[in-house]
Structure 1
Amino acid sequence: MRRAILYGDGWAPSLITPSGLAAKVARLRELAGELGRPVPQVSVGGHAILVDDHDAVESFVASLTGPHGMAEEVARDIPVTGGAERVAERLAAYAEAGADAVGLGLDGGEWMRQAEILAQARALLTD
């Protein structure tokens, strides 16, 4: 975070929940104040599995608990899942936590269907 504040205009965390982001953004703002610098833009990178694909969810969780050493209960909260309304709620939670932008990679199958669900979620947020 310190380098983002001193040398950049943005900070891009990933693999983080909205509640985890809120704590980090609070620290980012505090640190920017201490350093007399503007608060960088926050762009969250995340993963989404927006179709009923249990195997994809389990595979994603395993990729976090193994190589990343993340606790399983935390790893299960990382991917954005569900239908358009649930996705919109999750994106709104990231915004409330301090995200200026959220980019999601679509994991699992049915990419076009997932893209449609994501578009529907965005429409719910902009109406």
Structure 2
Amino acid sequence: MEIGVFLPTSAPGPGQPVAGDVRASARFAEDSGLESVWSTDHLIASAPMLDSTVALATAAAVTERLKIGYGVLLLALRPVAWAAKQISTLQQLSDGRLALGVGTGNPAHGDIGWRAAGASFEDRGRRTDEALRVLPDLVAGRASVLEDGLEVTLAPGSAMPPVLVAGTGPKAMRRAAAHGDGWIPIGLSPDEVAAGVTELAGLAAARGRTGPRATVVAPALDTDPGRAAAQLSAYAAAGAERVILAPTGAGWRPDYEFAANVRRALA
């Protein structure tokens, strides 16, 4: 069971500043033995939020082992070729440490960010599926035919990072089975994770693929590291390979110290 944490790239609420040092938090996570750091993503959210790609590049630049992840990238908010260029560059500059979480966006943020980007909020699911279809070739530097028929090749290419698809609805589950190396649910119990992993295994098998394992965001854990570690063992038995602990609002350092203590208790 691996443990990740969110970078301090968003504010706790509207009108509040983004509080946190991405460089210091990434270094602390690596020094504490945590597996990964993750960045949220949006153009205009319900609270201030830094750009995810720039934040992840910053975290990669000050670390050597730590994995960096989009948690999650809104692919449909961007032209897919631009997204592929950023993903490929970040994968190269981080020496292959990138994990590509992908989602369609939380409706709680509204559609203003989508309208500002000239993207369709209503069509975001279909556009995400189309982006995932062409993304591996684009990132790898192979010729790819975009939705409008244009053939493009991006150079230089890089190794395609693992794709982790977020969501628990029927469309999201089909997307994870078709394109995902991993699946990202939020706040599910171990029993719910086990049921989802079993469902995904069946959906993936029908496509000739292996079912993705789960990365659980914001599991409900005890505040005692030892008891929290025991709870994570249940998640591992359910088919989860990683958890990403949610911020508590107390600043990034207490959350990171708790995550490190849970990791030590697991060991």
Once the two structures are superposed, residues 48-84 of structure 1 have per-residue CA deviations (whole angstroms, 9 ceiling, x without a partner) of: xxxxxxxxxxxxxxxxxxxxxxxxxxxxxx6222211
Q: Contact between 1:45 and 1:104, CA under 8 Å: does it hold in 2?
A: yes
CA deviation after TM superposition for structure 1 residue 97, in Å: 0.7
Does residue 117 of the first structure (1) align with residue 258 of the second (2)? yes
Matches within 5 A, 1:43-82: 43-46=215-218, 79-82=220-223
Q: Contact between 2:184 and 2:217, CA under 8 Å: does it hold in 1?
A: yes
Residue 181 of structure 2 is matched in structure 1 by: 9
Amino acid at match of 1:6: A
Residue 90 of structure 1 is matched in structure 2 by: 231
Distance 1:83 1:110, change over 3 A: farther
Q: Which has the higher contact order (CA 8 A, sep 6+)?
A: 1
Gaps of 5+ in 2: 1-172
Amino acid at match of 2:231: R
Gaps of 5+ in 1: 47-77
Between the aligned residues of both structures, percent identity stands at: 39
Distance 1:95 1:24, change over 3 A: same
Q: Contact between 2:183 and 2:215, CA under 8 Å: does it hold in 1?
A: yes
The two structures have a TM-score, normalised by structure 1, of 0.65
Residue 102 of structure 1 is matched in structure 2 by: 243
Q: Contact between 2:197 and 2:212, CA under 8 Å: does it hold in 1?
A: no
The two structures have a TM-score, normalised by structure 2, of 0.33
Higher helix share: 1
Root mean square deviation, CA, Å: 1.9
CA deviation after TM superposition for structure 1 residue 106, in Å: 2.6
Larger Rg: 2
